[in-house]
Amino acid sequence: MATWRRGDVILGLYEVLDVVRAGGMGLVHRVRHRGWDIDLAVKTPRRAVVRSPDGIRDFEREAEVWVGLGLHPHIANCVYVRTLDGVPRVFAEWADGGSLAEAVRSRSLYGSDPLGSLLDVAIQSAWGLDHGHENGVVHQDVKPANVMLTRDGTVKVTDFGMARARMAPGEDAGDADPFVSRGGLTREYCSPEQARSPDGLTTATDVWSWAVTVLEMFLGKQPVTDGTTAGGFFDGLARSGALGAVLPVPVEVADVLRECFTEDPAARPG
């Protein structure tokens, strides 16, 4: 598989501006579409995902699910899937403000109105998830690394429906982002039912993972190393307080998170 480098021009159309990161799906490049005069994120799957014809077909099918969601202000639009150098690549909307994971780590999320900024991100990301859910798509990998920000304050959920296009268990992560998916989930954010089985998941699994993501924004750090324990961890916080948290969790927000961390998926809010 050919490696794209900054400055390369692919097919006279895609100018490679940057190699952004190696993540759960594989390499991510920022390219300039010279015909449209816009920047796009190009996501290239890992070799382990597309080493067989069946793997390629599965990847393309999952990417088409994302394409099928169409335009929505709070979803990173998946433009198309195109095979280049024998590898199917996902061309998606580029978000110029980086990921929520980066914003939490760098503290750039917390400005003059940190609570307002945090709640704005939480609400906009929920709107994006809701659009997917209304169209029958369960994200399966909601986490700060999959919530993208733009410089104008818009929040966009990315990688919809691509959870299974991630590294298989036991694959060498190499230079991968530490917050990557393995076997279709990211352990730090997964729900109890997703940890038990990746099959038969409902939108409730995204609700749980969204709540872990919101909790991370308040704490300013990853809440737990095992997402299935987030409910118990949150109960402990409610009793003892969160030492070192960036912001205290308001009572109203705590009530919502408590509902999201209900063990029974059917009892969680939509």
Report the chain (270 residues): mean pLDDT per 10 consecutive residues: 84 93 73 96 82 82 88 94 89 94 95 95 98 93 95 94 50 36 74 90 96 97 96 88 82 96 95
pLDDT, position 177 = 36
Fold of 9-93: Phosphorylase Kinase; domain 1 (3.30.200)
pTM greater than the 0.85 cutoff: yes
pLDDT, position 44 = 86
User: Terminal CA-to-CA distance of the chain, rounded, Å?
Assistant: 42
Question: What is the location of CATH 3.30.200.20 in the chain?
Answer: 9-93
| CB-CB contact of 199 with 99 (8 Å) | no
pLDDT, position 103 = 96
Tell me the C-alpha distance between 103 and 210, whole Å: 16
Q: By three-state DSSP, how is residue 246 classified?
A: coil
Question: What is the location of CATH 1.10.510.10 in the chain?
Answer: 100-157+185-267
The single residue listed with the structure tokens 């990211």 is 186
Instruction: Give the strand pairing for 78-84 and 87-93.
Output: antiparallel
Domain formed by 100-157+185-267, architecture: Orthogonal Bundle (1.10)
pLDDT, position 269 = 94
pLDDT, position 184 = 62
